[in-house]
A and B are shown apart, each in its own frame.
Chain A
């Protein structure tokens, strides 16, 4: 299944391989069982940008939260670099700084300045001195084009900058995996395109595994090594699309022939599943 592209990603990265095996998640609030994830298996090699595409409500966040350790799974297992995160005998993963989530609506602490937000993880870990942490935080901010916003509160900067601060905060923990839950959903398309290039730039500098949820197909193809297109609820991989456009990429690939071909290949499946989700929603309503 993995081709040249994914191997290319694994070249330099040795940590952060995720193996999702037969995961099932059933929500059971007061007996009304809702199956959100259905026997889902995905293998993500270390250093891959893996894009999860699927209609809203299909169960993408549910899967991400299981990896992060925010709730349990009903059956199946998830491993990180061969180590069991959750599975038989251990239904809920322990959240850890090796897997950091960048949330859909952002979760920067509004009462902390950008710099204090970014320093938060290492301060909690307590491995470095405060001086070292803040030096590192400042230099990471400078690298991400955030100089000058250190002492601003998140509420004082644009939503695009906030997203960048949040990614830098995540990276400060030296994670093996970054989990993105539709982080650019609320951004306008111009800001989005800037954010995409910025994210890739950050990725090229600090290779980590990226598990990225979106329902924007263009975003998925532009960023990803691979697209996992999910079925409507309960979610499981419906189609896997390899994006064999070489990294590093910039925005010119959007107009390339190959990009359009991949778009066409993926579009029909995505549309079909969206239609199913819509119909199911109509029936319920």
Chain B
């Protein structure tokens, strides 16, 4: 918003505490990673990790490298592709299960048996089913968000205060009005929550799927994504780049969630005031 707001946010006590904590963390990491040079004794765990200064240097070298950004792009594409598909299929499915008892009775047991299967367990089957690697990664990503979205939408739509429906009915609302003006807005908060959780899972899944499947259609390299970027850094022995990849995923996940939070806030303005 305006500059004053932004400044007060940036310099708020909480933000300051956060920054100090990160700084302390970086110092400990740096000292730990260089413990062999500094003290002649290698700290457990930290002594094996590349120091943050080296990571930043390595990162600086990658900033100008198009294939690093290509990895970001590919992972984002897969996440948003799978996630969008999960929303498009999952939201109507959840709503339909909530309003139609017959369909619920028919489909829910199947759904509940499928749901505990971790998306990554689908990787081999998915590679067999789908004609391209790209599609199989997208499918596994889709599954990551799908179950969470459906279960949240279903739960939200089924727990609507019955009196909202009764009040609307008394005031002459048709079935369609009730669905559009009551069921849908009443379920929106659950849709937002389901999407946010689903988005988190999507990032976990995409990275793992990229590692397992070796980076998608173009067999790594250009089409690899951040998961493959980490894997190939490991294979190539560049430990700094592994850490760069990890932090990149953290940042990408954070921005995805933040984007959803903002969108969710716009869609549910009445919740802001609580």
Contact = CB atoms under 8 A, between A and B. Distances in A.
Contacts of A84: none
Contacts, number: 69
Interface centre among A100, A107, A125 (most CB of B within 10 A): A107
A99 B270 contact: no
Contact of A97 (B170, B182, B185): B170
B166 A107 contact: yes
A68 B164 CA distance: 14
A244 to B, nearest CB: 33
Interface in B243-274: 268-271, 273-274
B171 A173 contact: yes
B170 A96 contact: yes
Contacts of A124: 168, 171-174, 177
Nearest to B166: A70
A120 B270 contact: no
Contact of B170 (A100, A111, A153): A100
Q: How large is the interface on A (under 10, 10 to 19, 20 to 34, 35 or more residues)?
A: 20 to 34
Given A109-B185, A153-B270, A103 B167 contact: yes
A124 B177 CA distance: 8
B55 interface: no
B270 A110 contact: yes
A156 interface: yes
B163 interface: yes
Interface residues of B, number: 24
A124 B167 CA distance: 12
Contacts of A125: 171-172
Nearest to B169: A95
A99 B182 CA distance: 20
A125 B164 CA distance: 17
Contacts of B268: 111
Contacts of A154: 270
A101 interface: yes
B182 A109 contact: yes
Contacts of A153: 269-270, 273
A173 B168 CA distance: 12
B171 A111 contact: no
Given A95-B170, A153-B270, A155-B274, 12 more contacts: A101-B163, A101-B170, A107-B164, A109-B167, A109-B181, A111-B185, A111-B268, A111-B270, A112-B185, A124-B173, A124-B174, A156-B273
